[in-house]
A and B are shown apart, each in its own frame.
Chain A
């Protein structure tokens, strides 16, 4: 068990975005999180990366504990990579330097070592010929692949994907999902918030349905899509399938 979430709650004023959620994820597991807009999917992922402070409960990630004290956030962020819907590439840095920077300043790798890792990862996501381009010169699909390479460069044990294809033109979704499938095949532990039902069916080990900050249902993709037990899950699936 690499992630162990116990009864976490995350509030924004009067809104309870994540409501007493418990969840454990095994090493190498791919968990897809589905749910309507505003159901707390992003907030849950952000809690796992300590980008959001939890109000109660605790999160154990590979032996490091996040609680209200926020003591281990630095180690946890090294263990957990995150890819965002809006890419969030650093626009003032070239593709190579986007991937290099945190390796240099956080992992303290030498310039040569960082560049070697970056080039290897950029080749893996099919962007070996874009090293000197700036984010502004890339397509959405290319940007998102750089963002994945940038997160992987820190050697995370867990990768979080928050609707990473939602801002893409349809013809670019495939190239990003392909990279994610490859990662899953290599045994990366992944939590993926997505609307791509095909991806969930094909890649997920488990599907979680979140509504109003609570886990309503979780099952293998086979069971989840063919025999949902809860009415809210059925209603949701009826809309997206």
Chain B
């Protein structure tokens, strides 16, 4: 291996990198949109899952179990080729909807367990002060659940970001799709997929650090089991 070969490789890799980094915002945009949708759906269905109304509870359970039981790829096909052809959804909307409703089901379970982890005494204290169930949830339960929900919830975003690569299959030109096109055009499979992998890795590792930071932030001052017992 000569020095020239080495520099040649570096040159190719940086060319691929420079090309692909220009579409990475699509991956970010899809992930964030899908995740925002997932959080909203997750909160709604997580709360619905423990509603007093049996019909609402069963409905939320059906949503959660159905969407967790179907492969994401199938959901993407369904939203784009199935539903998308009927009500005319473009690739981006169909892709975001598919990833969003799928992750919404996972987020719902995270929210549900975050709510259920709060001691029942908190509900009783709030109710004894005349607060309604909704006020109790909003002012007492959810603020405490945040601390429990943030670590697994943020990990879902990392998973969501990685799974956004699946929407490449319906021709949405995000990072993976652009990588495939580039590799096919220039016969540079090795370099391209190496770079694609590295770009995903940079994003996921940065997010992992961010999650660690958030975990510290939400640990409210003077609040926690370790400091509660004296």
Contact = CB atoms under 8 A, between A and B. Distances in A.
Interface in B114-133: 119, 121-122, 124-132
B131 A92 contact: no
A210 B172 CA distance: 71
Given A88-B124, A90-B122, A105 B222 contact: no
B190 interface: no
A92 B147 CA distance: 10
B144 A106 contact: no
A74 B227 contact: no
B129 A51 contact: no
Interface stretch (B3-11, B66-74, B135-143, B155-163): B135-143
Q: Say what secondary structure dominates the interface of chain B.
A: helix
Nearest to B227: A136
A180 to B, nearest CB: 17
Contacts of B124: 51, 84, 88
A91 B227 CA distance: 11
Interface string A71-85: 000100110111010
Nearest to A97: B139
A133 B228 CA distance: 13
A219 interface: no
A193 interface: no
Contacts of A147: 125
Given A88-B124, A105-B135, A137-B227, A77 B221 contact: no
Interface string A171-192: 0000000000000000000000
Contact of B223 (A81, A92, A101): A92
B127 A88 contact: no
Nearest to A98: B125
Interface residues of B, number: 26
B128 A74 contact: no
Nearest to B228: A136
Contacts of B147: 92
Contact of A102 (B131, B221, B224): B131
B131 A105 contact: yes
Interface string A27-63: 0000000000000000000000101000000000000
B130 A74 contact: yes
Contact of A88 (B121, B132, B228): B121
Contacts of A133: 222
Given A92-B147, A102-B129, A135-B223, 17 more contacts: A74-B132, A77-B129, A78-B130, A81-B128, A84-B124, A89-B125, A90-B140, A91-B223, A92-B143, A92-B144, A134-B221, A135-B228, A136-B222, A136-B228, A137-B222, A147-B125, A151-B128
